[in-house]
Chains A and B, each alone.
Chain A
Amino acid sequence: NAGVTQTPKFQVLKTGQSMTLQCAQDMNHNSMYWYRQDPGMGLRLIYYSASEGTTDKGEVPNGYNVSRLNKREFSLRLESAAPSQTSVYFCASSPDDRYSYNEQFFGPGTRLTVL
């Protein structure tokens, strides 16, 4: 039982390049999330997926797109990377719906640098 896994662990991009961050969970959770963490800013929600087939914007969605490929996988795409997207990206999942009292489980993170 690996929990939440993310690939890659580290990535360096040049401005304007594109890439996709992958996330998978093996806990049969319905909801999945993408956060970014910047120094002094805490974790901020980029996008989330309440269930398979649905996605919604979070606090800081500009410059990103997401795909909920199936129940297990939730990817985050940067179409044209900018230096302001240099950050640590965390994927998370939780068992069920908005009315639940369950915690979110986090992946190990992807450290992205955009030059």
Chain B
Amino acid sequence: EDKVVQSPLSLVVHEGDTVTLNCSYEVTNFRSLLWYKQEKKAPTFLFMLTSSGIEKKSGRLSSILDKKELFSILNITATQTGDSAVYLCAVKNSGYALNFGKGTSLLVTP
């Protein structure tokens, strides 16, 4: 059975801190790993990773995949209160659906 595990489940940091969110997976026929940000409503897409060792960056957010050790990390530098959200990791195998982890709830305090 495919499994996606995120850690930590929740995190509280101060503005300006750097955070690292973790996602490990066990999936047959791995195709891609995706990160989403969810603030109250619909998950919004952040990154898709398909190859090991290639960092994806968008502003203060970056992510990398390790297909040998079966994990990904999402880094957020110089956090802001607007980064407060649930961050979801999902893995796609050779089927259609995404297999989601339970999410990491991040709270950034002023």
Contact = CB atoms under 8 A, between A and B. Distances in A.
A27 interface: no
B96 A103 contact: no
Interface stretch (B39-47, B60-68, B71-79): B39-47
A104 B42 contact: no
B43 A42 contact: no
A101 B32 contact: yes
Contacts of B95: 98
Given A40-B102, A106-B42, 20 more contacts: A4-B42, A33-B96, A33-B97, A35-B100, A41-B102, A42-B4, A42-B101, A42-B102, A43-B43, A43-B88, A43-B100, A45-B98, A48-B97, A56-B96, A59-B97, A90-B43, A104-B34, A106-B36, A106-B43, A108-B42
Interface of B: 4, 31-32, 34, 36, 41-45, 48, 50, 88, 90, 92, 94-98, 100-103
